[in-house]
Amino acid sequence: MFVSCQSVHAIFISMSAIATRGFGYKAHTYFIASRRNDYRPNALRNPILLVLYCVVAALLVITSVVRQEVRSSSQPSVSSIENRLVGSINVTRGSLDMQPLSLNTQLSKAAVAKQLHMAEQDYWSHTSPDGTEPWDFVRSYNVTYAKAAETLARGFTEPEAVVTGWLNSPSHREALLEPSYSQIGLSITEGEQGYDAVALFIQPVSTIAATSGVLSDTTENSAQKVLAFDSPQLSRIATVVPQSLIYIVAGLSVINLGLLIMMLFTQHKVPVAQHIRKPFHEHPEVHMVLHVAIIGLLSSTLL
């Protein structure tokens, strides 16, 4: 161990001093440089505390960077999610001797418009509060169809899990496994808990004309929405510091900031020029700013 028993004992003595005596007095001497502590805050007297500050801060910075890299490298692209989603649907359709679905660019634009509309109007449903239907977006991109359906999914990381969830719902299963559907449009965005998806399925009018020579009336059937939450793959690295330390650091930051504000209103009773000419160690605000900066760094890397 690089920290001696005496150093550990000194740290515990310093921490217990605050808890065993008057909080106001000890907080002042512990954090603020003044005559009571010979202008040397107790928190800065023990060099081991400063070393621990630096070590923990360095570990948190490294952990934060590594965690972000792991998230970035493990997060699949939206295009790969789309391909896997369509592929998973087509595997199921193929096992039932159904034609595969092909991506329709214009239909995907309609799905994107629907997803943007839900975000702007703050709703998650097939029909918007103002009565806008999914088919309104489809028609706005000049997509003609004889039959159409929409499915929604929210908060997923694995597209295969979404397809499984859709297949387990009768209304979703009807949309995915409708034999007459041959085209699909997708819009996938990254949400707060994973990916959100809007899927539009259609039977093109050209298919009806080619098979029967007669155009049937347009029908629209929308499946119910599904909230899909699956077990995510490794998306973050475990932090070195326990979760409870986040609240401790946040509390210390608030205390330090409050003491700094109090000090600024109570300590400056001498003219500014005279105060500036004081030695460095007699500037309590410098020590307070140091505390706030260190704890702020810990907070930013933890939160």
- Residues 179, 89, single domain; the answer is yes
- Would you tell me the crossing angle of helices 23-31 and 244-266 to the nearest 10 degrees? 90
Is residue 232 in some structural domain? Answer: no
| 222 and 84 co-located in one domain | yes
Which helix (H) or strand (E) is 160 found in, with range?
helix 159-167
Give a yes or no: residue 45 inside a domain.
yes
Give the residue numbers spanning the domain of 170: 78-227
Position 140 in a domain: yes
Tell me the angle at which helices 5-20 and 23-31 cross, rounded to the nearest 10 degrees: 140
Point out the domain boundary residue: 166, 195, 227.
227
In a domain, 233, yes or no: no
Residue 203, both tokens: 């039977």
Question: Cα separation of 57 and 15, whole Å?
Answer: 19
Q: pTM above the 0.85 mark?
A: no
**Structure tokens belonging to residue 160:** 């295969």
Indicate the number of domains in the chain. 2
Residue where a domain stops, chosen among 227, 248, 266: 227
pLDDT digit of tens for each residue in the chain (303 aa)?
Answer: 444 544 544 554 455 444 445 545 566 666 666 677 666 666 666 666 666 667 766 766 676 666 655 554 445 566 788 889 999 999 999 999 999 999 999 999 999 999 999 999 999 888 999 999 999 999 999 999 999 999 998 888 888 988 998 999 888 899 999 999 999 999 998 877 788 999 999 999 875 444 433 333 334 444 333 333 333 322 222 233 344 555 565 666 666 666 656 655 555 554 545 555 555 455 555 555 666 666 666 555 555
Both 220 and 276 in a single domain?
A: no
Domain final residue, candidates 175, 202, 227: 227
298 assigned to some structural domain: yes
Is 118 a domain residue? yes
